[in-house]
Amino acid sequence: MLKTGEQHLESLRDGRRVYVGDELVEDVTTHPAFRNAAHSFAMIYDRKLAPENVDVMAYEAEDGELSTSWYLQPKTKEDLRKRRETHRRVAEWTCGLIGRSPDHVASFVTGLLWKPDLFEENLSGSAGHLQEYYDFMRKNDTFACYTVLPPQGARQPELYQREGLTVPTLRVTAEDKEGVTLNGMKMLGTSAVFSNETWVGNLLPLGEEQAAESITCAVPLNWEGVTIWTRKPFERFAVSEFDAPFAWKFDETDSMVIFEDVKVPWERVFTHNNAALSRNIYFQTPSHAMGNHQSNVRFSEKLKLILGVARKSAELNNVLQVPAVRDTLGRLAAGEAGLNAMISGQIEDAEEMVAGRLNINRRHMYGALHWCTQNYATVCETVRELMGGGPFQMPADVSVINNPELREKFETYWSVPGQSAIDRMKFLKLGWDLLGSEFAGRHQQYERFYAGPAFINTLYSFIECPWDEMTGTVDRVLAEYHVPEDGEVRRPVAAE
């Protein structure tokens, strides 16, 4: 099934409980904090149905049903290229600003299917249930977010226990022949407000004593006992699309999700009571790699936008001919080229992780992921330097043009050669929303910790590095020469 944007909006009118502060939101598709972003997600579904996109954005599944390409199980490099282009178009339509777009978690679930025995050995029937859930997502074009981290401050439960406090982390508190009961909180439900379901799991290591927390399951976000607590929604405070074009419609929103006596049937449970496995499923399958390949592609589209702002800032400020400015733009362009080369390399050096299926190269993917997380803030700071004080010279908002007298003065004093005052304000408002606003600040923090703390990202590269090749190179060079015998040592001749 390929659902339409309207069908997705209708699916969000499902009685879910979303809190903004103490306000219970009745309909996220019409509420001023979420309605524009909700329609941005709907736009993704409509655009992938458009004649110019559907050949890339859809494929014929084995059951003959037309399905969205982020569910495609890649067997060839062409399949991998199709998946990449699918991710790229979603990112292009959303300017790379929606990290948890519908193709992200879907890619995680798609990759999990490659090793069914991994699940079956832990929980009888879970491999079949996973296949059924994947088919359910594919056939219904389901949008899932994920909540795969314990809340900050609760990652050392013994500290809570020592003071007699309730550990807030989600855990299984009961089970019977029908399923398990969940209580607690998980983070970070980015896009949960606009998703149909949340994939509950664990991306951080758990100790054996945390077996009750090691549940992996799928939960519809409108189920009884599930509540979504959002951070401050930036869309609500955007004056207009002109003044804040990205916060206006691309705030995907981050949320904490609370589960209170939520009953999950066994057919939606995929790991249980196995602390190590609940994390390992993402790394012993292509799941983590497929999901973060999407993040690499999304980031590259976002980087194009930022580099465009950099170039136009230099042109607007008449400094493009300054050698130092060209040097800065050249360094930004080199970084963008390197990132795209790493993404292409993920496909060209693809791995056959499971016979008959082809996965992107994990080492190249983790290298790209590390580059993105470590360089985003620096890139933004560099472009803000090129923008200078321009954003602060603009009137508070675009309402200034509603007054004819003020508009005339604005156009007189703020216009520059080659650009009207209105166009100049439009560009500078866009640049500031992208790089300097509260919305922009969220993105800097988000990109920094997108895949976890920095030491976790470097650990991925440490694990995937073929160290034997590196040390083997040293050993080969060492083997090419020997300890000199007496007479073989040439001593320098003393100067006369």
**Strand, coil or helix: 247:** coil
In a domain, 403, yes or no: no
Angle at 6 (CA atoms; ends 3, 9), nearest 5 degrees = 100
Domain of 352, CATH number, reads 1.20.140.10
172-223 confidence digits (pLDDT tens): 999 999 999 999 999 989 999 999 999 999 999 898 889 999 999 999 999 9
427-449 confidence digits (pLDDT tens): 999 999 999 999 999 999 999 98
Q: For the chain, what is the mean pLDDT?
A: 94
Span 310-332, average pLDDT: 95
Residues 158 and 297 in one domain: no
Residues 347 and 225 in one domain: no
Residues 149 and 274 in one domain: yes
Position 154 pLDDT exceeds 70: no
Domain of 247, CATH number, reads 2.40.110.10
What is the rounded radius of gyration, in angstroms, for the C-alpha atoms of the chain?
A: 26
Cβ pair 199, 144 in contact under 8 A: yes
276-281, long-range: CB < 8 A, 24+ apart: 276/205, 276/206, 277/118, 277/122, 277/214, 278/201, 278/202, 278/206, 278/214, 278/215, 278/216, 279/202, 279/203, 279/204, 279/205, 279/206, 280/118, 281/112, 281/118, 281/119, 281/201, 281/216
Q: What secondary structure letter does DSSP report for 19?
A: E
Q: Give 163's pLDDT tier (boundaries 50, 70, 90).
A: confident
Residues 296 and 201 in one domain: no
In a domain, 477, yes or no: no
In a domain, 425, yes or no: no
Residues 308 and 231 in one domain: no
Position 91 pLDDT exceeds 80: yes
In a domain, 340, yes or no: yes
Q: What secondary structure letter does DSSP report for 485?
A: P
Residues 228 and 315 in one domain: no
Residues 260 and 321 in one domain: no
Task: Tell me the Ramachandran region of residue 154: left when phi exceeds 0, alpha when psi lies from -120 to 50, beta otherwise.
Answer: alpha
340-354 confidence digits (pLDDT tens): 999 999 999 999 989
Span 92-101, average pLDDT: 97
Residues 444 and 342 in one domain: yes
Cβ pair 34, 253 in contact under 8 A: yes
Q: Give 458's pLDDT tier (boundaries 50, 70, 90).
A: confident
Position 166 pLDDT exceeds 90: no
Query: What does the DSSP assignment read for 447-473?
Result: HHSTTS-HHHHHHHHHHHS-HHHHHHH
Quick one: how many helices (H) and strands (E) in the chain?
17, 14
Domain that holds residue 352: 287-388+437-467
Position 374 pLDDT exceeds 80: yes
Q: Is the dihedral of CA 84, 86, 92, 94 positive or negative?
A: negative
What is the signed CA dihedral for 129, 135, 254, 280, rounded to 10 degrees?
50
Distance CA 295, CA 289 (A): 10
Question: What is the tally of structural domains in the chain?
Answer: 2
Residues 228 and 199 in one domain: yes
Residues 57 and 12 in one domain: yes
122-136 confidence digits (pLDDT tens): 888 999 999 999 999
Q: Give 455's pLDDT tier (boundaries 50, 70, 90).
A: confident
Position 496 pLDDT exceeds 70: no
Query: What does the DSSP assignment read for 74-116?
Result: --SHHHHHHHHHHHHHHHHHTTT--TT-HHHHHHHHHHHTT-H
> In the structure encoding, which two tokens stand for residue 416, read together?
């520059």
In a domain, 476, yes or no: no
Cβ pair 328, 381 in contact under 8 A: no
In a domain, 377, yes or no: yes
Q: What is the pTM of this model?
A: 0.93
In a domain, 205, yes or no: yes
Give 23's strand partners. Answer: 20
Residue 75's nearest CA partner among 363, 282, 352, 345 is 352
pLDDT, residue 155, reads 64
Q: Is the dihedral of CA 45, 48, 49, 50 positive or negative?
A: positive
Share in percent of the chain as helix, strand, coil (round to 5): 50, 15, 35
Residue 250's nearest CA partner among 442, 103, 88, 89 is 442
Burial class (CB in 10 A: 0-12, 13-18, 19+), 336: middle
Q: Give 484's pLDDT tier (boundaries 50, 70, 90).
A: confident
In a domain, 472, yes or no: no
Residues 14 and 80 in one domain: yes
Q: Which of 280, 312, 335 is the last residue of a domain?
A: 280
Q: Give 168's pLDDT tier (boundaries 50, 70, 90).
A: confident
Look-up: residue for tokens 């945390």? 210
Q: What secondary structure letter does DSSP report for 169?
A: B
Q: Which of 220, 253, 280 is the last residue of a domain?
A: 280
**Range of lowest pLDDT (52-56, 204-208, 337-341):** 204-208
238-259 confidence digits (pLDDT tens): 999 999 999 999 999 999 999 9
Residue 51 CA, distance from chain mean position? 27
pLDDT, residue 82, reads 98
Distance CA 331, CA 428 (A): 22
Distance CA 71, CA 103 (A): 8
Position 487 pLDDT exceeds 70: no
End-to-end C-alpha distance for the chain, whole angstroms: 90
Position 164 pLDDT exceeds 90: no
Residues 119 and 229 in one domain: yes
Q: Which of 264, 280, 296 is the last residue of a domain?
A: 280
Query: What does the DSSP assignment read for 327-368?
Result: HHHHHHHHHHHHHHHHHHHHHHT-EEEETTEEE--HHHHHHH
277-302 confidence digits (pLDDT tens): 999 999 999 999 999 999 999 999 99
Span 70-85, average pLDDT: 98
